[in-house]
């Protein structure tokens, strides 16, 4: 059975892939597309997103945080625009990206809902090299990203009745100078933080450079298998966002977070940032050394090194 959750949905596809196959032939064109897909996948994972599926020359990904979705989109565009192996007959291979935020239904290997169709529609609105987003994304962005999102149109996506305001994120050099410091520091910021997860003597370290996400739940496929009658099969994810880690609850009974400073939170089918250190309770209030409790320790700083 699917689970309802609000997420940022991103679609990215290679522009003019049919022409690539006509010009280069099947094998060479497939290699070019594969490079693009790998760049898209890597950017998604480095910014805490999840690649739901790839479809030929297209990637579909989800993010709990809208800033993280735009970080990934810009990194995809910049990496492909500057890749030395993606030039064909004097022209660079390009991609287009569309993004929307809204409620979706999560299945084991797919995501469904009207929001998914809207995100896909934004991709068809985008031209080569563009990142197109809806007002639902724009409203949730940090001021830094809002400053470089310009309104370009109003549309009614197919099968819907309400208008959607469309924005383009200006990421390219020459379009905006305020973006340049942000793009330059994305990778550097991600090198400076990690989180330690400890559970019944086991420790799992997440670091955006190497491993950016982990799943928790009673199913054997999870990174941390946690048994309990209130623990869902896939209960929660912990994933890297923009300079922080997010806890994304996907459960029936919710997740409790207690910080060392006394801050308590409860989240159910939503996401919250993890700060400092504390404990996480799956389905119930966390208790020290309990089978349903995970300890977390966030670490950051310019001199962060591995032990």
Q: Average the pLDDT over each of 106-110, 229-233, 274-278 and give the range with the smallest value.
A: 106-110
Strand partners, 250: none
* The pLDDT of residue 290: 85
* The pLDDT of residue 3: 62
* The pLDDT of residue 302: 46
* The pLDDT of residue 178: 43
Q: Average the pLDDT over each of 48-57, 138-147, 208-217 and give the range with the smallest value.
A: 208-217
Q: pLDDT tens digit string along 240-258?
A: 766 788 898 888 899 999 9
> What is the CA 150 to chain-centroid distance, rounded?
22
- Check residues 293 and 159 and name the one with the higher pLDDT: 293
Per-residue pLDDT for 218 more than 80?
A: yes
Residue 235's SS3 state is coil
DSSP state of 68: H
Strand pairing category for 277-282 and 271-274: unpaired
DSSP string, 111-164: EESHHHHHHHHHHHH--TT-EEEEHHHHTTS-HHHHTTEEEEEEE--TT--S-E
Q: Average the pLDDT over each of 187-196, 205-214, 262-271 and give the range with the smallest value.
A: 187-196
Q: pLDDT > 90: what percent of the chain?
A: 51
Short-list 61, 128, 146, CA closest to 99: 61
Per-residue pLDDT for 17 more than 90?
A: no
**Please, what are the domains in the chain?**
3-190 (3.30.70.1230), 193-300 (2.60.200.20)
Task: With cut-offs at 50, 70 and 90, classify the pLDDT of residue 177.
Answer: very low
* The pLDDT of residue 242: 61
* The pLDDT of residue 171: 85
Task: With cut-offs at 50, 70 and 90, classify the pLDDT of residue 306.
Answer: very low
Identify the residue whose tokens are 């070019």: 32
Q: pLDDT > 70: what percent of the chain?
A: 87
């Amino acid at each position: 059975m699917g689970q309802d959750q609000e997420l940022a949905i991103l679609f990215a596809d290679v522009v003019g892939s049919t022409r690539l196959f006509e010009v280069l032939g099947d094998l060479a064109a497939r290699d070019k597309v594969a490079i693009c897909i790998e760049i898209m996948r890597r950017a998604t994972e480095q910014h805490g997103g999840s690649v739901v599926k790839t479809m030929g020359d297209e990637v579909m990904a989800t993010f709990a945080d809208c800033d993280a979705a735009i970080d990934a989109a810009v990194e995809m565009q910049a990496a492909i625009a500057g890749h030395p192996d993606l030039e064909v007959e004097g022209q660079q291979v390009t991609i287009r990206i569309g993004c929307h935020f809204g409620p979706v239904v999560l299945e084991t290997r797919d995501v469904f809902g009207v929001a998914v169709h809207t995100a896909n529609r934004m991709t068809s609105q985008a031209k080569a090299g563009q990142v197109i987003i809806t007002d639902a994304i724009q409203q949730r962005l940090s001021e830094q990203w809002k400053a470089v999102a310009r309104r370009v149109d109003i549309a009614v996506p197919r099968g819907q009745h309400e208008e959607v305001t469309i924005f383009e994120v200006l990421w390219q050099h020459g379009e905006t100078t305020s973006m340049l410091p942000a793009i330059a520091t994305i990778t550097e910021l991600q090198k400076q933080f990690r989180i330690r997860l400890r559970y019944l003597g086991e420790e799992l370290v997440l670091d955006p450079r190497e491993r950016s996400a982990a799943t928790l739940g009673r199913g054997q496929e999870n990174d941390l298998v946690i048994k309990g009658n209130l623990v869902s099969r896939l209960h929660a994810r912990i994933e890297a966002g923009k300079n922080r880690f997010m806890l994304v609850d996907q459960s029936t009974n919710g997740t409790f977070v207690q910080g060392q400073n006394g801050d308590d939170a409860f989240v159910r089918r939503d996401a919250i940032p993890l700060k400092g250190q504390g404990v996480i309770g799956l389905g119930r209030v966390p208790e020290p050394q309990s089978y349903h409790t995970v300890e977390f320790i966030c670490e950051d700083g310019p001199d962060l090194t591995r032990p």
